[in-house]
C-alpha cells in the first residue's frame, strides 16, 4: 500500500492525529491530560510555558517532549530582548533541560538547538534559524517513524495476521506523528497483518487507556484494552506473537528505559516465548551512557498513585513509590528498531554496530 507522508503542518492534508502545531509566534499542544474527554489545545508563547507543559505532562512521550522543547527555544529567541538575546535563549535552554530527566530526546533536541544558536549573529537571525531547526526536528521525527514501521515489518517477516501487545502510548500523541511502537501497529493494520492489539492501561497515568485506546479507536484499528495485571494471562493464551514498546532512553549496551511496567512485560514475554521489540528513533539512543543503571529515572508525585482523576483511591497518608520508568536489560530484548536500522539480539552488539 502506498502511503503519502502526512505533513504535520498542513492539517487539511493529513487525517492523522497531530499533537503539536507550530504557529510561528506560538506552539500549540493538544493537552494530553484532558484526553479522551476533551480535545483542548494549549497555545504557548514562551519557553517557560513549554517547560511547564512538559513537567505537567500536557505534552508527553519522548520524541514529543524533544520537539516541544525545540519550539520552546525558538519561542525564547522571539521573545528575547535585542541586547541580551543570547543570554536569554541560553537561560531558556537551561530551564527546558530541567523539565523531565529520563527521556534523552529532550537533551538531544536542546543540544541541536544550542549548536544552531552558536552560529547565529543577531536576534533576527536566531528567530529565523531556531524556528527552522525546530521544524526540521519535528519533520525528521515523523519521517523516522514511517521508516521504522517499514523496517519493523520487514524484520517481523509475517506470513499471516498476528496479535500484538503494547504498553503506554507511543502513537502520534507521543511523537512528531504516526508513532514509534504504535506506528508499527498502524503499519501492520494498513498491511492487513494485524489481528488485534492489546493495550495495557498503563497505571498510574493511564496512557494506554486514555491515549492509545483513543488514537486506535479513532483510526478504526482493532484494540482491546486490558489491565496491566492481565498481560501475563494474555501472553499465556498464545495469541500474541510480539510485544512492541517504545523507549525513553537506550544506552550503548542496548538496555532500554521505558514506561514503568515494561521490564515486567519483557520477563513475561521471555517466559512465554513471545518476541519483544523496542521501536525508537536514534534520538532516543544515548551512546554516552554505557548501561541502563546509569539512566536517571524520574519519580513523580505520590498523588498519581493515590488518586485516579483527582479521586482518592488510597489513604491520603500512605507512603508511595512512584518511579515512572524502569529499565529492561538488553538480554530480554529480541529487536531494537531505529530509523537507521535494526539491531537483533542487542545483548550481543549493543547499539555500537548501528550508531557507534
Ligand X SMILES: CSC[C@H]1O[C@H](OP(=O)(O)O)[C@H](O)[C@@H]1O
Locate all alpha helices (DSSP H) within the chain, ordered by sequence.
47-55, 62-79, 85-97, 104-119, 123-156, 181-190, 207, 213-218, 231-237, 262-271, 303-306, 346-349, 352-355
Q: Is 133 in the site for ligand X (CB under 6 A)?
A: no
Cβ distance to ligand X smaller for residue 103 or 130: 103
Cβ distance to ligand X smaller for residue 180 or 253: 180
Candidates 172, 234, 244, 324: give the one binding ligand X (CB under 6 A).
Answer: 324
Q: Is 63 in the site for ligand X (CB under 6 A)?
A: yes
Catalytic residue among 200, 248, 255, 334: 248
Residue 269 · residue 332 · CB < 8 Å: yes
Q: Tell me the β-bridge partners of 224.
A: 198
Q: Is 175 in the site for ligand X (CB under 6 A)?
A: yes
216 three-class SS: helix
Contact string 38-57 vs ligand X (x = CB under 6 A) = --------------------
DSSP-derived secondary structure letter, 79: H
- Angle, in degrees to the nearest 10, between helices 85-97 and 104-119: 170
Q: Give the phi and the psi of residue 31 in degrees, each rounded to 5.
A: -70, 105
Tell me the CA distances in angstroms from 290 to 161, 179, 277, one per residue in order.
37, 27, 20
Catalytic residue at 248? yes
Candidates 187, 210, 259, 306: give the one binding ligand X (CB under 6 A).
Answer: 259
Cβ distance to ligand X smaller for residue 19 or 240: 19
Q: Is 248 in the site for ligand X (CB under 6 A)?
A: yes
Interface residue list for ligand X (CB under 6 A): 60-63, 168, 170, 174-175, 180, 207, 246, 248, 258-259, 324
Q: Which residues are annotated as a binding site for substrate?
A: 60-62, 100, 207, 258-259
Which sequence positions are flagged as catalytic?
A: 248
Amino acid at each position: 500500500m502506498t502511503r503519502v507522508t502526512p505533513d504535520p503542518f498542513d492539517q487539511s492534508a493529513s487525517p492523522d492525529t497531530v499533537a503539536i502545531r507550530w504557529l510561528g509566534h506560538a506552539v500549540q499542544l493538544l493537552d494530553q491530560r484532558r484526553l479522551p474527554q476533551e480535545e483542548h489545545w494549549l497555545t504557548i508563547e514562551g519557553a517557560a510555558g513549554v517547560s511547564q507543559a512538559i513537567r505537567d505532562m500536557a505534552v508527553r512521550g519522548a520524541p514529543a517532549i524533544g520537539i516541544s522543547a525545540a519550539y520552546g527555544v525558538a519561542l525564547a529567541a522571539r521573545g528575547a530582548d535585542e541586547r541580551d538575546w543570547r543570554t536569554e535563549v541560553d537561560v531558556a535552554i537551561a530551564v527546558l533541560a530541567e523539565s523531565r530527566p529520563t527521556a534523552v530526546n529532550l537533551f538531544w533536541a536542546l543540544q541541536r538547538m544550542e549548536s544552531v544558536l552558536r552560529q547565529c549573529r543577531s536576534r533576527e537571525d536566531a528567530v529565523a534559524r531556531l524556528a527552522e531547526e525546530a521544524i526540521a526536528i519535528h519533520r525528521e521525527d515523523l519521517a523516522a517513524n514511517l521508516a521504522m514501521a517499514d523496517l519493523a515489518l520487514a524484520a517481523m517477516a509475517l506470513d499471516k495476521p498476528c496479535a500484538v501487545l503494547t504498553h503506554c502510548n507511543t502513537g502520534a500523541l507521543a511523537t512528531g506523528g504516526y508513532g514509534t511502537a504504535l506506528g508499527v501497529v498502524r503499519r501492520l493494520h494498513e498491511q492487513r497483518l494485524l489481528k488485534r492489539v492489546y493495550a495495557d492501561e498503563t497505571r498510574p497515568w493511564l496512557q494506554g487507556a486514555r491515549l492509545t485506546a483513543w488514537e486506535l479507536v479513532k483510526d478504526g484499528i482493532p484494540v482491546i484494552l486490558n489491565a496491566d495485571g492481565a498481560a501475563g494471562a494474555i501472553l499465556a493464551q498464545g495469541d500474541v506473537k510480539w510485544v512492541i514498546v517504545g523507549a525513553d532512553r537506550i544506552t550503548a549496551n542496548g538496555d532500554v528505559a521505558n514506561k514503568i511496567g515494561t521490564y515486567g512485560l519483557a520477563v513475561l514475554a521471555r517466559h512465554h516465548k513471545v518476541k519483544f521489540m523496542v521501536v525508537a528513533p536514534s534520538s532516543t539512543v544515548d551512546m554516552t551512557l554505557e548501561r541502563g543503571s546509569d539512566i536517571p529515572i524520574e519519580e513523580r508525585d505520590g498523588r498519581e498513585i493515590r488518586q485516579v482523576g483527582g479521586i482518592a483511591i488510597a489513604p491520603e497518608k500512605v507512603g508511595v513509590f512512584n518511579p515512572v520508568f524502569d529499565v529492561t536489560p538488553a538480554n530480554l530484548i529480541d529487536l531494537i528498531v531505529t530509523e537507521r536500522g535494526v539491531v537483533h539480539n542487542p545483548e550481543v552488539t549493543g547499539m555500537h554496530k548501528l550508531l557507534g
